[in-house]
């Protein structure tokens, strides 16, 4: 199922990519192999997308908790310190104003005077009393008396507000610390994807692995093809997303990720790679985004790891080197060979051409006949070249005869 990346509504004329400008087909055919492909998702999983001209910034404040969690650590710590400091200073100022209005500052040496807060003789002491009240330290040197009703009300307000601030800020810091983003660092993808034959079918494959002993629960894998396209009506759709089937209907997309696994996509009629051959692959501007997600066994939180492959990272005619061996009664995984591949005999034709040749020759589509299909295709190419040469020679002879007749 295709999904389009919606672009924000803008008043000015949007800056379309070069493919959407004048003479689209000619431009692509001329510059496609020269221009570097811009990644949609980087190899480390971060999305290479910048949100600009966001006018409804108030939406960030309506979800202030998520906004704080998404901030960088330096800003988060700054806000954490500022919130507590401001509340302490604010209530310290109020405690000092109460003492000043009641005249406690004028009766510091009067033993018969009952102040609102004992041993409060200035703003510094009021600030310290505010910290002791909000953090419930209770040193016992400065205490509120029962002769100050406004102080009792302020004490209740600060205690309740302090509890709210503690719950909000501590909760924010706890969520940020326990975020499972770092767990994705130990989920690895192969640096290259490969295309080769598997069980008689042309397949696109990549490898995933988990470096930790604690496993990902309910792990699932998805893949998307990111490729701009132009509709039959002339509409240009940038970064169109097309689903790549990696076993959704068979359940193979549900992984038991104990050891590295090779994820396979069968290139059939429903595949976006159905008409792509080895020679055509480097000319394509596409990107494959793979998404692995599941729950962290230790914390129960959802984790997601991402990576991507561009055309230069897709190797045609290669397979992955095995990494699993049996030693002393247990299986050993050699991650030094995780990214390694080796070359294998693979037809250079597209899956569509292989199917057409197999049906034309009334042969089953299997790797046992793929070499014959390659030979058949090579013979057809040689025959076409030979016919073209003969036609050129005949045209030359005809031209010579015409010149002689004119003379």
Out of 132-146, 247-261, 313-327, least confident range: 132-146
Summarize the confidence of residues 136-162 as an average pLDDT.
89
Q: Say which residues have a Cβ less than 8 Å from residue 217's Cβ, sequence separation at least 6.
A: 294, 295, 296, 297
Higher pLDDT, 295 or 13: 295
Query: What mean pLDDT do residues 16-34 have?
Result: 44
Structure tokens at 339: 């990214």
Q: Which two tokens stand for residue 196?
A: 């080769």
pLDDT in tens, 268-290: 999 999 999 999 999 888 999 99
Q: How confident is the model at residue 188 (pLDDT cuts 50, 70, 90)?
A: very high
Spell out the domain ranges in the chain. Answer: 57-178, 183-357
Alpha carbons 252 and 354: distance in angstroms, whole number: 25
CATH architecture classification, 183-357: Sandwich (2.60)
Q: How many residues does the chain have?
A: 407
CATH of 57-178, picked from 1.10.287.70, 3.30.1360.200, 1.10.1520.10, 3.40.50.720, is: 1.10.287.70
With 0.75 as the threshold, say if the pTM is over it: no
CB 207 within 8 A of CB 196: no
Q: Is the pLDDT of residue 380 over 60?
A: no
- pLDDT for 35 equals 54
Q: Do domains 57-178 and 183-357 have the same CATH topology?
A: no
Place of tokens 């109020």: 94
Contact 164, 83 (CB under 8 A): no
Please return the burial class of 92, using the count of CB atoms within 10 Å of its CB with bins 0-12, 13-18 and 19+. Answer: buried
Buried b (16+ CB within 10 A) or exposed e, 323-340: beeeeeeeeebeeeebbb
Enter the tokens of residue 330. 């247990």
The overall average pLDDT reported for the chain is 81
pLDDT at 371: 53
Q: pLDDT digits over 100-117, tens only?
A: 998 888 888 888 888 888
Distance between CA 345 and CA 351 in Å, rounded? Answer: 15
């Amino acid at each position: 199922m295709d999904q389009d990346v919606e672009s924000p509504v803008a008043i000015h004329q949007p800056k379309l990519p070069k493919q959407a400008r004048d003479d689209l087909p000619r431009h692509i055919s001329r510059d496609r192999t020269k221009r570097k492909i811009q990644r949609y998702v980087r190899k480390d999983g971060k999305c290479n997308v910048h949100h600009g001209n966001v006018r409804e910034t108030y939406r960030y404040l309506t979800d202030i908790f998520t906004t704080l969690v998404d901030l960088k650590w330096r800003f988060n710590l700054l806000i954490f310190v500022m919130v507590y400091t401001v509340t302490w200073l604010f209530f310290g100022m109020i405690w000092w104003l109460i003492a000043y209005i009641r005249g406690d500052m004028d009766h510091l040496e009067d033993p018969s005077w009952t102040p609102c807060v004992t041993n409060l003789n200035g703003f510094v002491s009021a600030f310290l009393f505010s910290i002791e009240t909000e953090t419930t330290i209770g040193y016992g040197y400065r205490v509120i008396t029962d002769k100050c009703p406004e102080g009792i009300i302020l004490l209740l307000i600060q205690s309740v507000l302090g509890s709210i601030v503690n719950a909000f800020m501590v909760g924010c810091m706890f969520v940020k610390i326990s975020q499972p983003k770092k767990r994705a660092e130990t989920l690895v993808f192969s640096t290259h994807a490969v295309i080769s034959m598997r069980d008689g079918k042309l397949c696109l494959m990549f490898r995933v692995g988990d470096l930790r002993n604690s496993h990902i629960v309910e792990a699932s894998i998805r893949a998307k093809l990111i490729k701009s396209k132009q509709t039959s009506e002339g509409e240009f759709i940038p970064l169109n997303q097309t689903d790549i089937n990696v076993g959704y209907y068979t359940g193979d997309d549900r992984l038991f990720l104990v050891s590295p696994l090779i994820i396979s996509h069968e290139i059939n009629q429903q595949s976006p790679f159905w008409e792509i051959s080895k020679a055509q692959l480097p000319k394509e501007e596409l990107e494959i985004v793979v998404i692995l997600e599941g729950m962290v066994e230790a914390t129960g939180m959802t984790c997601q790891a991402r990576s991507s492959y561009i055309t230069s990272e897709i190797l045609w005619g290669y397979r992955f080197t095995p990494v699993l061996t049996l030693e002393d009664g247990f299986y050993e995984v050699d991650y030094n060979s995780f990214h390694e591949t080796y070359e294998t005999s693979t037809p250079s034709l597209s899956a569509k051409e292989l199917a057409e040749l197999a049906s034309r020759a009334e042969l089953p589509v299997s790797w046992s006949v793929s070499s014959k299909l390659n030979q058949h295709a090579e013979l057809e190419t040689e025959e076409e070249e030979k016919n073209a040469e003969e036609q050129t020679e005949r045209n030359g002879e005809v031209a010579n005869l015409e010149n002689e007749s004119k003379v």
